[in-house]
Structure 1
Amino acid sequence: MDLGVRPGVLGLLGPNGAGKTTLLRMLATVVPPTRGAVRICGVQVDSQREVRRARRHIGYLPQHFGFYPAFTVYDFVRYSGWLRGLPDSTADTATREAIAFVDLSERSDAKMKSLSGGMIRRCGIASAIVGQPRLVLLDEPTVGLDPAQRLEFRAVIRKLRESGTAVVLSTHLVEDAAAVCDDIVVMAEGRLVWQGDPESLAAAARPGSEGDTPLERGYMSLLAGLEVPA
């Protein structure tokens, strides 16, 4: 795999087991690559020193993230910034800016355990973007969200795109990827098998392919051509 990430939103699509989460964990420096190299902001991450430096520029939201239920929204986001090494002198302002970015300022003092599923996801995004990292990695961020909450999520991602942040979004939902992504990568069995924009993905649809929309049919046509289980 040879993949470059630029400012904007890059979507990762692929069946279960394709390697999307593993790729995100490597980009987040959670696990090292077994071979090859990972470069963050132009610097090859090949030592603990470089890992620590790289993490200051990375915001990472796993699919399942933990939090202390008694933490307030403010506590959780500020703690996430502290983990990334955010200086105390800027931590308060950065925390409040991240919370405002996801429209949770009015719930800043609310306990995490009192939030709805959609609010917890937005709080998770705030924790990933606090301090304005240059690279934001989101793993299946819309899992469990209802249609209205997914629309709210898309609005947040569009704001990130407009800010010039590089975002990598892993999702199973083709329509979510098409709504917010500038570029889409299809993965299968740990390989990058296709890359292009949403319009090109729709154009890849074959006659009679499965799916309810041109995008879904294009995606399923790519997988069918590789004989990869969806």
Structure 2
Amino acid sequence: MRKSLLIIVLFMPLLAKAQFHMFSKDPIINLENFDNQRVHWGYFLGFNSYDFKFEYKNVGPDVLVNSTIGFNVGLVGNLRLHKHIDLRFEPGLYFNQRNLTFPGIANPVDALREVKSTYLHFPLLVKLSSVRTGNIKPYVVAGVGTALNLASNADAKDDNANNRFRMIKNTNFYELGFGIDLYLQYFKFSPSIRGVFSFNDELIRDNDPNSPWTSNIQSMSTRAIFINFTFH
């Protein structure tokens, strides 16, 4: 996260200079033919906030989710299909932790579960862009993908009775977002915000069918917000 902040700070003078040109009356057009490339590549750095959506078998107190801010990094492959349509592949590595507090468990140590996640995301997205105005071009993205949770504990025999929270390894999701392409003098900078929603029930139930941690949970699925800063 510190490295990401340092990179952003180092680029601040360039962004300030670009902003002056972008919003001036007659902006200097940067990278005029950049989007004519059939294929181009880039990378992204960013932040994330993961949450869980719970559904329950019986009405009762909800599991409390305390979301933290995580870090993401990845690559971008862009295939131009049309003047305003691109196909994008954005594999990335996402680190995060969610803290769950289970109701009805008196011992605070047993009631709290720290869910550390390391996701490998593989989304395939369609990018729909507006007409470029000067050095600015807004866009929206939508698509589907799959993710591998390297810290799922799916193969562990222990469960919550042994302080082991388990999730499935693979999950599928859909992703929606919007952003803006900023054409700077030497590269294109694209900040964006994304919403990610899992299709799957990701919880592995405890061995005890009457477990105070998992017995009342009908389904548990991930939802998240990503803020990405992409450099092309």
TM-score range, shorter chain: under 0.3
For normalisation by structure 1, the TM-score amounts to: 0.21
Choose 1 or 2 for highest CA Rg: 2
For normalisation by structure 2, the TM-score amounts to: 0.21
Higher strand fraction (1 or 2): 2
Higher helix fraction (1 or 2): 1
* Larger RCO (CA under 8 A, 6+ residues apart): 1
